[in-house]
Amino acid sequence: MNKIQVTLNREKGKISRYIYGQFAEHLGRCIYEGVWVGADSEIPNVNGIRQDVVEALKAIKVPVIRWPGGCFADEYHWKDGIGPTEERATIVNTHWGGVTENNHFGTHEFFELCRQVGAEAYINGNVGSGTVQEMQEWVEYMTMDGISPMSKLRRENGQDEPWKVRFFGVGNESWGCGGNMRPEYYADLYRRYQTYVRQYTKEPLYKIACGPNIDDYNWMDVLMKNAAPFMDGISLHHYALASVWEDKRPALGFPEKEWFSLIDSALKMDELITRHSTIMDKYDPDKRVGLIVDEWGSWLAVEPGTNPGFLYQQNTIRDAMIASLTLNIFHKHAERVQMANIAQMVNVLQAMILTEGAEMIKTPTYHVFDLYKNHQDATLVDADGAVSGTTSYTVSKKDGVMTASFCNYSLTDAETVMLSLVDGAVGEVTAEGVFGSKMDDHNSFENPEAVAKQAFTDFSVDGNEVTITLPPMSVVSVYAKEN
């Protein structure tokens, strides 16, 4: 029996809702088809944005969306994507399949998506192939309320009021697709570019520097040493891979060893955050600068027969495990991790949603985000215990409800966990979960509800103790009202 002692009044910080952020890049069918169908489409839409996808995203309370990339961001010239739709520049999306990008989804359409979903905006600017002036003008275009050349242009394009840009990224993967730079060079470029990311509004713009790839600790050290005072956050990218050789392994029909290798790769996030945070502590002991994990998730082989440049992969109960245990890691590091953005929102990598024409399905990962939404902006509480090697958990409280979420990624064994409240009385208890019976259980367009959130009753309450039996391959959230 696993025992966890919960001390509700011993608070361990706030879990930022931004940890539940999404990433939407101009890649494959994420934006086009997945989000944007155009106002003339037969697929039900509001102002060109498909309604089924918006409704699904609203239901999981998406707090923030990162856009337009990714690698695409460092080739994106925002002026291509404004003005009358039919007159916009047609370009080639060189990173992602060499397909035509007609720029029908641009700045105005992105803010319309945010408005419909109820999410805030995280814009990623172009350092790799863009100029300082271009970046400065984009910020002016989006956020300037007064009279200026860019606010005039925005008004001519039909948007009177400025939009709210909460987060702004200065370059993406500048060590790779964003320019192949060395950290010393990028640190200076960051200092220069961010100078012109002007603050036109009262609400502060949160500036994010491009941080390291996975375990590039030198990059983190050089950036923090040379540019920490000029940033609010620094990014980290880490994808879970099922093979150490980095060839992409199948999302379905994989062998048992790849269940565990993918999970091991995801678990590495804990070590990465710990070690990067230790470096950040040297230069920022007060933890002012946030670690922003703005790309994470499983990266598997594309579905057979699909464009290799589109990164379209299926999503199984194994991905539900990855989502749950990674969110648990972010919660644990809530003091440093101020935002995270899973890659990517629709039809790409570890997606929430898959679409095919007018049809849409929610993935097992979607259902974990749904299960976990009580943790958004909740207070992490002290929950101390030794649990089995395949169990990961979070306990938080918000509005008089304690939410305890668990992942049991054993393929064969149920795990019994006893939650013992030291300083609170347990009131009404309910639970729900996401369950698998084989490793690659997933939803398809033929069977869209094979893996879905279900009520869960395998728990008992005795005084201040709640005992839960977690089936193998399960994610469970238990909600206990405080008495």
Single out the residue of 33, 101, 173, 370 in contact with ligand AHR (rule: CB under 6 A): 173
Q: Is 341 in the site for ligand AHR (CB under 6 A)?
A: no
Q: Is 21 in the site for ligand AHR (CB under 6 A)?
A: no
Residues 6+ apart with CB under 8 A from 446: none
Q: What share of the chain is helix, strand, coil (3-state, %, to 5)?
A: 30, 30, 40
Q: Is 172 in the site for ligand AHR (CB under 6 A)?
A: yes
Stretch that binds ligand AHR, among 66-74, 105-113, 182-190, 378-386 (CB under 6 A): 66-74
Single out the residue of 6, 31, 71, 189 in contact with ligand AHR (rule: CB under 6 A): 71
Residue placing its CB nearer to ligand AHR in the complex, 295 or 370: 295
- Tokens read off for 2: 């696993």
Establish how many alpha carbons lie within 13 A of residue 50's alpha carbon, considering only the half-sphere containing its beta carbon: 24
Which one from 173, 246, 256, 482 is the annotated catalytic residue? Answer: 173
The footprint of ligand AHR on this chain (CB under 6 A) covers a number of residues equal to 10
Q: What is the C-alpha to C-alpha distance for residues 483 and 424, in angstroms, rounded to an integer?
A: 7
Short-list 278, 356, 367, CA closest to 315: 367
Q: What is the C-alpha to C-alpha distance for residues 222 and 438, in angstroms, rounded to an integer?
A: 45
Q: How far is the CB of 294 from ligand AHR (least distance, A)?
A: 9
Site for ligand AHR in 25-64 (CB under 6 A): 25
Short-list 269, 326, 295, CA closest to 173: 295
Q: How far is the CB of 398 from ligand AHR (least distance, A)?
A: 31
Q: What is the C-alpha to C-alpha distance for residues 71 and 175, in angstroms, rounded to an integer?
A: 11
Residue placing its CB nearer to ligand AHR in the complex, 69 or 162: 69
Q: How far is the CB of 295 from ligand AHR (least distance, A)?
A: 6
Which one from 295, 356, 446, 482 is the annotated catalytic residue? Answer: 295
Q: Is 295 in the site for ligand AHR (CB under 6 A)?
A: yes
Query: Catalytic residue at 173?
Result: yes
Q: What is the C-alpha to C-alpha distance for residues 350 and 370, in angstroms, rounded to an integer?
A: 15
Question: Letter for the amino acid at 458?
Answer: D
Buried b (16+ CB within 10 A) or exposed e, 123-151: bbbbbbebebebbbbbbbbbbbeeeeebb
Residue placing its CB nearer to ligand AHR in the complex, 124 or 443: 124
For 60, 65, 364, 471, the CA distances from 407, given in Å and listed in that order, are 19, 26, 13, 9
Query: Catalytic residue at 295?
Result: yes
Residue placing its CB nearer to ligand AHR in the complex, 297 or 364: 297
Q: How far is the CB of 200 from ligand AHR (least distance, A)?
A: 28
40 CB burial (10 A radius; 0-12, 13-18, 19+): exposed
Q: Is 70 in the site for ligand AHR (CB under 6 A)?
A: yes
Binding pattern for the stretch 176-205 against ligand AHR, x by CB under 6 A and - elsewhere: ------------------------------
* Residue of this chain nearest to ligand AHR (CB atom): 70
Stretch that binds ligand AHR, among 65-73, 143-151, 253-261, 409-417 (CB under 6 A): 65-73
Single out the residue of 209, 343, 421, 439 in contact with ligand AHR (rule: CB under 6 A): 343
Q: Is 345 in the site for ligand AHR (CB under 6 A)?
A: no
322 CB burial (10 A radius; 0-12, 13-18, 19+): buried
Q: How far is the CB of 301 from ligand AHR (least distance, A)?
A: 14
Structural contact between residues 251 and 316, judged by C-beta atoms closer than 8 angstroms: yes
- Give the containing element (helix H, strand E) for 341: strand 337-343
Catalytic positions, please?
173, 295
Residue numbers of the site for ligand AHR (CB under 6 A)? Answer: 25, 69-71, 172-173, 295, 343-344, 349
